[in-house]
């Protein structure tokens, strides 16, 4: 039981500190404090209504009882329940509910420089045929008007790839093996209207030795000359892929099919790789 505590929000903020809620806990040995005992369930309800980062960085350090509450699986399981965050597969509940909670809310793209905003930074050029890869302004309206650039291929095969180290991105082996979170890939591609071209993609889930466990490699997409095709989206979700996934390799590209000098081949942009530990709402 936590004795003699009060929770107060101070309006004055000392110089150098950010303005936020401050939790004040009076010592049980303080003779000037006469507050009655507060049930631990009430304390937990208070913690559940505070921001998760504040609970970990501040409240957890208040006293032993609060640390035990914040470190408990029950606290993070209840946070998940209240926010509707549940595992993709209910038969595989998380072993670490706090890690599951934070990784589920992380929600960021794992590919670097997917929109050609930073030249070819983050990409490894695997094949650079014809007049090589290039970057251009989008010739066709893109569904998201913030995407203004694309990578462009030439008259012989152009391929580029990224290798994602899942552990470096925060997804350790035990987390991946036990939960097997859904891995969603997306890629956007479009032809020029005046030249035929082809598009291809291959995404592989790799073990620690970079050997393929699962792969997604659909048939090449061909476009005829004088087409009126808009931007197209290629998507795939990896599920139930088994143990051992430690890396992901994303490769895409193509070429024009008429061998025209310059950059008349397929355009690609706004690629993404996202991991979903929790079921999508």
211-263 residue pLDDT tens = 999 999 999 999 999 998 999 999 999 999 999 999 999 999 999 999 999 99
Cα dist. 216→19, 44, 159, 262 in Å?
49, 45, 16, 30
Distance between CA atoms of 236 and 230, rounded to whole angstroms? 20
The answer to whether the beta carbons of residues 104 and 277 sit under 8 Å apart is yes
Per-residue tokens: 174: 């035990």
Mean of per-residue pLDDT scores for the chain:
85
Q: Which has the higher per-residue pLDDT, 29 or 174?
A: 174
Buried residues in 130-158 as b, exposed as e (16+ CB within 10 A): bbebbbeebeeebeeeebebbbbbbbebb
H helices present in the chain, as ranges: 40-48, 52-57, 64-71, 73-83, 97-106, 173-179
Q: What is the predicted pLDDT for the residue at 247?
A: 98
Domain 124-276 grouped into CATH 2.60.120.260: yes
Task: Give pLDDT tens digits for 170-207.
Answer: 898 989 998 899 999 999 999 999 999 999 999 999 99
Q: What is the predicted pLDDT for the residue at 221?
A: 98
Q: What is the predicted pLDDT for the residue at 281?
A: 59
Q: What is the predicted pLDDT for the residue at 25?
A: 40
Q: Which has the higher per-residue pLDDT, 166 or 85?
A: 166
* Residues in Cβ contact with 254 at an 8 Å cutoff, skipping those fewer than 6 apart: 153, 157, 158, 189, 197, 198, 199, 200, 220, 265, 266, 268
Global pTM exceeds 0.95: no
DSSP 60: G
Q: What is the predicted pLDDT for the residue at 93?
A: 86
Q: What is the predicted pLDDT for the residue at 107?
A: 67
Distance between CA atoms of 110 and 274, rounded to whole angstroms? 6
Distance between CA atoms of 154 and 243, rounded to whole angstroms? 39
The answer to whether the beta carbons of residues 108 and 170 sit under 8 Å apart is no
Q: Which has the higher per-residue pLDDT, 216 or 108?
A: 216
DSSP 61: G
Number of neighbouring beta carbons within 10 Å of residue 228: 7
């Amino acid at each position: 039981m936590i004795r003699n505590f009060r929770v107060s929000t101070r309006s004055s903020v000392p110089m150098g500190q950010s303005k936020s809620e401050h939790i004040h806990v009076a010592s049980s040995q303080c003779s000037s404090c006469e507050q009655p005992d507060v049930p631990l369930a009430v304390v937990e309800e208070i913690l559940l209504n505070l921001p998760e980062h504040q609970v970990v960085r501040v409240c957890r350090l208040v006293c032993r009882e609060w640390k035990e509450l914040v470190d408990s699986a029950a606290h993070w399981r209840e946070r998940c329940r209240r926010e509707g965050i549940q595992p993709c597969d209910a038969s595989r509940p998380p072993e670490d509910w706090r890690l599951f909670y934070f990784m589920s809310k992380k929600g960021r793209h794992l590919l670097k420089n997917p929109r050609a905003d930073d030249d070819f930074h983050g990409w490894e050029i695997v094949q650079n045929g014809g007049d090589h890869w290039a970057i251009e302004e989008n010739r066709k309206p893109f569904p998201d008007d913030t995407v203004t650039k694309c990578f462009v291929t030439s008259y012989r095969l152009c391929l580029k790839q990224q290798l994602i180290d899942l552990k470096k991105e925060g997804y350790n082996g035990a987390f991946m093996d036990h939960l097997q979170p859904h891995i969603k890939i997306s890629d956007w591609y479009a032809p020029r209207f005046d030249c035929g071209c082809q598009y291809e993609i291959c995404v592989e889930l790799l073990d620690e030795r970079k050997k393929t466990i699962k792969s997604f490699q659909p048939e090449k997409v061909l476009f005829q000359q004088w087409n009126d095709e808009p931007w197209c989206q290629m998507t795939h979700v990896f599920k139930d892929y088994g143990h051992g996934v430690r890396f992901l390799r994303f490769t895409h590209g193509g070429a024009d099919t008429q061998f025209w000098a310059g950059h008349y081949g397929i355009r690609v942009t706004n690629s993404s790789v996202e991991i979903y530990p929790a079921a999508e709402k």
